[in-house]
């Protein structure tokens, strides 16, 4: 008999999971339940008047090749675009400082640019140098916070002015709570192998240079996008799986998932459908609504997510003066701003913006603050303009602005997260056969990671149904 699988959520994780399910077993009957009226979840591209504006994520890390491979499989190879490289900055001590050349996520690998930067004091530089002789930092129960680890290796100043703005922003989590082993385990690995982070990252940089020498014509940028935006990837994926008879039910929120001996019942309002297997790809708070009675999932009750908004400002080039030549900046926590980062999108991704216009995208919302919840769109735009006027001059108003609120959208991976997730996954394997749970709340938030997690969950599920 034909086996039936339900996937909950049509974000990138859910859609990619359906793709791999069908690829591995075309005979399976797959239905996706999606509460909103569109696919993509946090991914949303806005295309109008020659602009291509990302309202959620803006690109993906090209070195995680699973997304490029999938894009090729669904016919988007010709549409892949690499970012224009340029100087990035850090706003600290009320000024923009260029990120020292040669650093990887803030960790110095070239001595000269690090010694000459004015972002770090002479004492801070000396302290960072102790990394070369310090013993590996001890972890407790297999994890440590990103803050504690880098403070111990490179000192407070390098952590606060270089590393925290770069790493903290990606995860929307306070750096002193953020789990190193759930986010950047590679740094611990390098420290162990080379006895020093600086030496380890120097090695990593040499490897990247060698890799580039193998492909001399390859673009230099680290990030990838699509000519018609990330939504075009989602639309192509949606079309691909629909052609394989995947049924996508939009505006169909799942109210409950009930586990019976042989099946799972998916309950949506008055309707109940039976499935052999279920893959949940919603944020963990939604999963908890259905499985909160099981104390094995209590961790999710304590796991918060940060609310953020992306704020887009589109200017005529006459109305804005930006003397910095680069692709954008991140902001040190010690700075007095509400925004956390800003991309000069028209410079990083020139294809997104018509000639003669300037496109800026800022992020607002930090862990623990309520700025996104407490203010209207107009107020948020004026907060963003107030902060940005510390770095550039507005000579007139923007042609238009967009505020895209993403409530509870950045899952916070605190110390011990990965161990908790492994226990939870094991509990699910033992207690709920033919059920899998995956997505951004679990092992990683990046778009290629979401695809990879979906693929792995599908492989496990297929062994059980």
Ligand X SMILES: Cc1cc2nc3c(=O)[nH]c(=O)nc-3n(C[C@H](O)[C@H](O)[C@H](O)COP(=O)(O)OP(=O)(O)OC[C@H]3O[C@@H](n4cnc5c(N)ncnc54)[C@H](O)[C@@H]3O)c2cc1C
Is 34 an interacting residue with respect to ligand X (CB under 6 A)? yes
Q: Are 101 and 113 in contact (CB under 8 A)?
A: yes
Contact pattern from residue 243 through residue 282 relative to ligand X, giving x for each residue in contact according to CB under 6 A and a dash for the rest? ----------xx--------------------------xx
Distance between CA atoms of 285 and 242, rounded to whole angstroms?
A: 28
Q: Of 8, 152, 391, 421, which lies in the binding site for ligand X, with binding defined by CB under 6 A?
A: 8
Distance between CA atoms of 100 and 90, rounded to whole angstroms?
A: 10
Is 445 an interacting residue with respect to ligand X (CB under 6 A)? yes
Structure tokens at 394: 């507005």
The side-by-side arrangement of strands in the sheet containing 357-364 is 95-98, 88-92, 328-331, 339-343, 357-364, 305-316, 400-411
Distance between CA atoms of 379 and 374, rounded to whole angstroms?
A: 9
Q: Of 19, 57, 76, 341, which lies in the binding site for ligand X, with binding defined by CB under 6 A?
A: 57
The side-by-side arrangement of strands in the sheet containing 277-280 is 247-249, 29-33, 4-8, 277-280, 435-437
Residues in binding contact with ligand X, number by CB under 6 A? 36
Bridge partners, 396 (sequence order):
none
Nearest-approach distance from CB 85 to ligand X, in angstroms = 16
Is 341 an interacting residue with respect to ligand X (CB under 6 A)? no
**Comparison of 322 and 409: residue with beta carbon closer to ligand X:** 409
Is 153 an interacting residue with respect to ligand X (CB under 6 A)? no
Distance between CA atoms of 96 and 334, rounded to whole angstroms?
A: 13
**Comparison of 183 and 196: residue with beta carbon closer to ligand X:** 183
**Comparison of 31 and 196: residue with beta carbon closer to ligand X:** 31
**Comparison of 142 and 350: residue with beta carbon closer to ligand X:** 350
In 3-state terms, what secondary structure has residue 72? helix
Question: Under 8 Å CB-to-CB from 151, ≥6 apart: which residues?
Answer: 159
User: Most distant CA pair in the chain: distance in Å?
Assistant: 72
Within residues 283-322, the interface with ligand X by CB under 6 A covers 283, 286, 308, 310
The helix, strand and coil proportions of the chain, stated in percent and rounded to the nearest 5, come to 40, 25, 35
Q: Of 33, 291, 299, 300, which lies in the binding site for ligand X, with binding defined by CB under 6 A?
A: 33
Q: Which stretch binds ligand X (CB under 6 A): 54-62, 124-132, 257-265, 370-378?
A: 54-62
Computed on alpha carbons and rounded to an integer, the radius of gyration of the chain in Å comes to 23
Nearest-approach distance from CB 66 to ligand X, in angstroms = 12
Nearest-approach distance from CB 345 to ligand X, in angstroms = 12
Q: Which stretch binds ligand X (CB under 6 A): 2-10, 197-205, 213-221, 259-267?
A: 2-10
Q: Which stretch binds ligand X (CB under 6 A): 18-26, 50-58, 71-79, 340-348?
A: 50-58
Closest of 416, 414, 335, 418 to residue 175, by C-alpha: 414
**Comparison of 62 and 200: residue with beta carbon closer to ligand X:** 62
Structure tokens at 435: 């059920």
Nearest-approach distance from CB 71 to ligand X, in angstroms = 13
**Comparison of 12 and 167: residue with beta carbon closer to ligand X:** 12
- Which residues make up the interface to ligand X (CB under 6 A)? 8-14, 33-36, 41-43, 56-60, 253-254, 281-283, 286, 308, 310, 406, 409-410, 439-440, 445-447, 450
């Amino acid at each position: 008999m034909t086996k039936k699988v339900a996937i909950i959520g049509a974000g990138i994780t859910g859609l990619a999971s359906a793709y791999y399910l069908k690829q591995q077993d075309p005979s399976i009957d797959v239905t996706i339940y999606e509460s909103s009226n569109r696919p993509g979840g946090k991914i949303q591209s806005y295309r109008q008047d020659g602009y291509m504006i990302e309202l959620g994520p803006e690109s993906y890390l090209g070195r995680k090749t699973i997304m490029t491979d999938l894009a090729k499989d669904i016919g988007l190879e010709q549409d892949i675009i690499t970012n224009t490289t340029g100087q990035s900055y850090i706003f600290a001590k009320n000024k923009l400082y260029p990120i020292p050349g040669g650093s990887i996520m803030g960790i110095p690998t070239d001595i000269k640019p690090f010694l000459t930067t004015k972002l770090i004091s002479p004492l801070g530089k000396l302290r960072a140098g102790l990394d070369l002789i310090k013993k590996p930092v001890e972890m407790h129960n297999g994890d440590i916070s990103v803050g504690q680890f880098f403070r111990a290796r490179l000192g407070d100043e390098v952590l606060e002015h270089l590393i925290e703005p770069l790493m903290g922003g990606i995860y929307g989590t306070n750096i002193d709570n953020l789990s190193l082993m759930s986010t950047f385990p590679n740094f611990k690995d390098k420290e162990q192998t080379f006895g020093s982070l600086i030496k380890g990252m120097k090695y990593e940089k040499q490897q990247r240079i060698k890799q580039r020498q193998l492909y001399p014509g390859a673009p230099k940028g680290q990030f990838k996008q699509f000519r018609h935006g990330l939504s075009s990837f989602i639309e192509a994926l949606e079309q691909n799986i629909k052609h394989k008879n995947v049924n996508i039910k939009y505006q169909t929120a799942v109210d409950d998932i009930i586990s019976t001996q042989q099946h799972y019942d998916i309950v949506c309002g008055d309707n109940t459908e039976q499935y052999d297997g279920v893959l949940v790809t919603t944020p963990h708070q939604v999963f908890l609504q259905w499985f909160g009675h099981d104390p094995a999932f209590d961790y999710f009750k304590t796991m918060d997510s940060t609310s953020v908004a992306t704020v887009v400002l589109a200017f005529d080039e006459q109305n804005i003066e930006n003397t910095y030549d680069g692709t954008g900046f991140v902001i040190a926590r010690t700075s007095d701003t509400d925004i956390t980062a800003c991309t000069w999108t028209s410079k990083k991704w020139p294809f997104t913006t018509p000639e003669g216009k300037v496109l800026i995208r800022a992020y607002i919302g930090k862990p623990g603050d309520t700025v996104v919840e407490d203010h209207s769109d107009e107020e948020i735009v004026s907060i963003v303009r107030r902060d940005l006027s510390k770095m550039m001059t507005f000579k007139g108003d923007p042609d238009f602005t967009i505020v895209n609120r993403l409530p509870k959208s950045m899952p916070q991976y605190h110390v011990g997260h990965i161990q908790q997730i492994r226990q939870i996954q094991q509990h699910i394997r033992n207690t709920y056969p033919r059920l899998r749970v995956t997505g951004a709340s679990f092992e990683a938030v990046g778009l290629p990671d979401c695809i990879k997690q979906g693929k792995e969950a599908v492989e496990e599920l297929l062994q059980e149904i």
